[in-house]
Copies of this chain bind each other. A is one copy, B any other.
């Protein structure tokens, strides 16, 4: 153990966890086929439907977000099916690579930091018969939220399944999956829910559930997971401590109320963006599509990524994320989802200001922190 635990943990996931969640996780071993765990799975199912805002079927897999995406894809498409992948960042690119293993996958690329254009999706769909379309609702790599309702409208007008990576969206962004017509929506435990990393959840439309097959999956066999959960069971040994923590995090979310959490996440995001602007910094993504769960911020001239994050970590015990792939060194990213508070943001931006000052970036000292404080006090 070399580092002290961070006081300010602002990654775009995993995010800070409530002590109640940690305590729930650290229970002694439990019989995952016994009556007590059945009750836990019953709660998990109901509360997972709540966080997805759906009446449809759900599954919770012992595996991180990628496992959930794989379950949705392998359950709905076959090797010869054509799948259209909307790609505008690292995670949508990875989603495309995943689809390439299990289907005939075609990428429709958009520049990183710009949103998916529904008109271009419509043209692509008219040009080819796709069984499914994938999109990353909230691109964690670029801090951008794609226009989900509009994309869903286009996909729904064709006869294709809409499979959505909602890993940093569900529980943090306004969601009407049933009304919009999302067929499969995937979330990760360690993001807006603020549970530990290691579980993923999938919600399905009725027509998606009715179409599930098991030809190319075993561990991620979505039908097996859905049907088992409906009977308070799991097809394989579950990651018991993660389920205990997941349930507690869902209870915390329900106590706050889903719409309250989404509204609070939005206020935090607006505060973070106000601080960025006050400091004379620039968001990476198109401002109109800036994400409410993660902000991606361009480094100003002269501020070097590794050094910036090292100072933050070592001098200020503050953890933020860097950029990925070709954005490495060009941006840093902060998460403001889950149980993140205005205090977290304020302390985080105080550390960011101090680090920028140490790196000779010039700005009016205190304006970032002040912007957050002002927002925290507005209704």
- Chain A positions within 8 Å of B, measured between CB atoms, are 1-3, 5-6, 9, 11, 13-17, 22-23, 25-36, 39, 62-67, 70, 97-98, 101-102, 188, 190, 196-199, 214-220, 236-242, 245, 313, 319, 321
B28 touches A240 (CB 8 A): no
A26 touches B25 (CB 8 A): yes
- A selection of 8 A-B contacts at a CB cut-off of 8 Å is A3-B35, A6-B28, A26-B26, A31-B321, A63-B219, A70-B218, A101-B216, A196-B241
> With a CB–CB cut-off of 8 A, which chain B residues contact A29?
9, 11, 14-17, 190, 196
A-B contact sample (13 more), CB < 8 A, given A65-B237, A241-B242: A1-B39, A9-B28, A11-B29, A14-B32, A15-B29, A17-B28, A34-B313, A62-B239, A70-B219, A196-B241, A197-B238, A219-B219, A239-B239
Residue of B with least CB distance to A191: B237
Known: A15-B29, A237-B188, A319-B31. A66 touches B36 (CB 8 A): no
Known: A26-B25, A27-B5, A36-B3. A241 touches B15 (CB 8 A): no
Count this chain's copies in the assembly: 2
Shortest CB-to-CB span from A188 to chain B, Å, is: 7
Shortest CB-to-CB span from A334 to chain B, Å, is: 13
B16 touches A62 (CB 8 A): no
Query: Which of A6, A27, A219 has the largest number of chain B CB atoms within 10 A?
Result: A219
> With a CB–CB cut-off of 8 A, which chain B residues contact A15?
29
A224 to B205, CA, bound (A): 32
Contact partner, A218, options B62, B101, B239, Cβ 8 Å = B101
> With a CB–CB cut-off of 8 A, which chain B residues contact A239?
62, 64, 196-199, 239, 242
> With a CB–CB cut-off of 8 A, which chain B residues contact A22?
26-28
A198 touches B11 (CB 8 A): no
B241 touches A25 (CB 8 A): yes
B216 touches A219 (CB 8 A): no
A52 to B237, CA, bound (A): 21
A218 touches B102 (CB 8 A): yes
Shortest CB-to-CB span from A43 to chain B, Å, is: 11
A236 touches B66 (CB 8 A): yes
B198 touches A238 (CB 8 A): yes
A14 touches B30 (CB 8 A): yes
A319 touches B28 (CB 8 A): no
A64 to B218, CA, bound (A): 12
B14 touches A197 (CB 8 A): no
Contact partner, A62, options B34, B36, B64, B240, Cβ 8 Å = B64
Shortest CB-to-CB span from A7 to chain B, Å, is: 10
Shortest CB-to-CB span from A228 to chain B, Å, is: 13
B1 touches A36 (CB 8 A): yes
Contact partner, A242, options B65, B102, B198, Cβ 8 Å = B198
Known: A97-B218, A98-B218, A101-B216. A64 touches B31 (CB 8 A): no
A66 touches B198 (CB 8 A): no
Shortest CB-to-CB span from A305 to chain B, Å, is: 13
A101 to B219, CA, bound (A): 11
Contact partner, A198, options B6, B215, B240, Cβ 8 Å = B240
Residue of B with least CB distance to A320: B31
A17 to B34, CA, bound (A): 18
Contact partner, A11, options B25, B31, B63, Cβ 8 Å = B31
